[in-house]
Amino acid sequence: MGRVQVRKEQEASHKPTHPSTPPSRGRGRFTGCLHFGFVVASLLLFSFSLAAQTQEVKTPGDDRNHSVSFAKDIAPIFSKKCFKCHSAEKPKGSFQLHTFDLLLKAGDSKSPPIVPGDASQSELYRRLVASDGDDRMPQKDDPLPASQIALIERWIKEGARFDGPDSKAPIVSLIPRDPYPDPPAKYRFPVQITALAFSPDGSELAVAGYHEITVWDPVAGKLLRRIKNVAERTYALAYRPNGAVLAAASGVPGQTGESALYDPKEGKLIKSLGTTTDVMLALSFSPDGARLAVGGADNAIRVYDAASGKEMLLIQQHADWVTALAFSKDGSHLASASRDRSARVYDSKSGELETTYNEHAGSVLAVAFAEDGKQVFSAGKEKKILVWNAADARKAGELVGFEGDIVKLLADGPNLFSCSSDKTVRQHDAADRKLIQTYSGHKDWVYSLAYHPQTRRLASGSHDGEVRIWTTEDGKLLASFTAAPGYFAARDQQKP
C-alpha cells in the first residue's frame, strides 16, 4: 500500500559536484542506461558520457586535526559507489544504505554493518577490503581507492558519528551541494532535447542542455542566455505562471536527482528543493503557481510550496518510476504516470489517492487532464492514448494511429498534443478525439513538447538535438534550430 506524508517544514537539500565531460553522440539509445531494466524510459536517460558517471569522488586530505564528517566526507562516497546496488529498490543482499538508520541494519549476512569504534568488526569495512572478488564491495567494479577506504575506517574508529539533521532522511540529501561543472563552451555534439518550456509571454523557450538550461528566441532560433549550475541532464522544465521562476527536474541516472528553481532572466539558482538517489523526471506547477509537484526514479511524488520551497506532501503510491505529472485545470487534482503500468489521480491538497487506472499493458510515460478535469489521458508503450474517467477510472475511449511509443502528452483547452518515437507530433481534438494535424519533419525520435496558446506556437524537441517551432493555425514550420551553443562552429573547426 502506498502512503502520504504531510511535510510542515523541510530544509533544502544539496548534492556535490561531479566533474564531467560532454556526452558522446551516437545511436546508442539502449546503452549506458539499459541496466535500469526499462528500455522506453531509458530513452530519456541515454547517451550520457561514461566518464561523467565514473569519475572518482574527491576525498578531503588526511587532516588528523579534524574528525571525519559523515555528511561531507562519507556520504558522497556511498552516494557515488554504493547506491546503485543498495538503494530502496531491490537492494542486493537485503542491505540498504540510502538512509543512515538503514546503514546500521544488517542485511542477509546478519553481521552488523557498522560497529562504532571497531572497523575490523564492521561488515561494511570488511567487504571493502576483502581480497576475494566475489566477497569484496563494490562488486563488478574497481575497489574503492585506498584513500577513501582509509577515510571510512577512520570514521568508524572515531565512533561512526552522524552529523546530519535527520538520520531517516536520504543520505544524498545530507551532502552539501557544490556548484555543478560549467557546460561546454562549444558543444562538440548536439544533446537530446529531453525538456522544453515556453515563458508565459511566449517570447522565450527554455531548452534542456548538458549541465545547463539554454534560453532561445523561438522565432529567430537565437540563443538569448545560458543558465548554469544545473545537474548533468534535465528531464522536465516548467515556468511558474508569473514567469519569475523556472523549475527543473534533473540528475544523473543511478546516482542523484534534483528539483531546483532558477531565475530565468538572471540565470541564477534560486533554490534547490531537494535531492534524491536517482533522477527526477517530471514536474508540474499548479495553475495558480502556488505549488510544484515533482516525481522521478525514486517512485515518489513531492509537492512543494512554490514560494518558500518547503515540502508539503510526500506521496508514495507508485511501485516504480514516476514518469509524468499533471494538475487539473482547477488545481484540485493531480495525475501521475508510472512505469509500474498505472496512472493515478490524487486530491492535490491532501495527497490522498482517489483513483488508479490499471488497464495499460506497458509502462506509462505520459499523462494529462481534459479541460473539465473529468477525464484523463495516459499513454506509453502501447502506441495509443487511453482515455478514462477521473472519478472511477473506467475507460472512456482511445486514440490510435501511432507507430511508436508515446513519450509526452500536453493538453491545452480543446487541444491534445502528443509526441512519439515515430518521429512525429500529433494534435487531436480532446473532446471528439479526432486527429487535427500531424507535424512531420523530425529525423529522429521526438521526446519533448511545449505549447503557447496565445501565440498558437508549438515547440518539439528530438533525439538529434533539433528544436522545431510550429504554428498550430496552419501546421506550418515557423523555425528550426539545433539547441547546442557553438556546435556548428566547433564542427567546422574539426573539419580537415
Which positions ≥6 away from 304 have C-beta within 8 Å? Answer: 259, 273, 274, 291, 292, 293, 294, 310, 311, 312
Residue 121 backbone zone (phi > 0: left; psi -120 to 50: alpha; other: beta): alpha
Buried-exposed string 427-461: b where 16+ CB fall within 10 A, e elsewhere: bbebeebeebbebeebebbbbbbbbbeebebbbbb
For residue 364, pLDDT beyond 80: yes
- The CATH fold assigned to 196-494 is Methylamine Dehydrogenase; Chain H (2.130.10)
Name the pLDDT band for 99 (thresholds 50, 70, 90): confident
Mean pLDDT along residues 421-446: 97
CA angle (276, 279, 284) in 5-degree steps: 95
The string of pLDDT tens digits covering residues 452-482 is: 999 999 999 999 999 999 999 999 999 999 9
The string of pLDDT tens digits covering residues 275-290 is: 887 899 999 999 999 9
Residue 20 has a pLDDT of: 27
Mean pLDDT along residues 149-154: 94
The string of pLDDT tens digits covering residues 370-427 is: 999 999 999 999 999 999 999 999 999 999 999 999 999 999 999 999 999 999 999 9
Residue 90 has a pLDDT of: 67
Q: Which helix (H) or strand (E) holds 157?
A: helix 146-157
For residue 113, pLDDT beyond 50: yes
Cell of 48: 550520457
The string of pLDDT tens digits covering residues 191-236 is: 999 999 999 999 999 999 999 999 999 999 999 999 999 999 999 9
Which positions ≥6 away from 485 have C-beta within 8 Å? Answer: 183, 185, 186, 187, 209, 214, 223, 226
Q: Give the chain's mean pLDDT.
A: 85
Return d(Cα 298, Cα 318) in angstroms, integer.
Answer: 9
The owner of cell 563552451 is 185
Domain boundaries, the chain: 63-178, 196-494
Cell of 172: 544524498
Q: How many CA atoms lie within 13 A of 349 on its CB side?
A: 3
Task: Report the helix count and the strand count for the chain, using DSSP H and E.
Answer: 8, 29
Number of neighbouring beta carbons within 10 Å of residue 153: 17
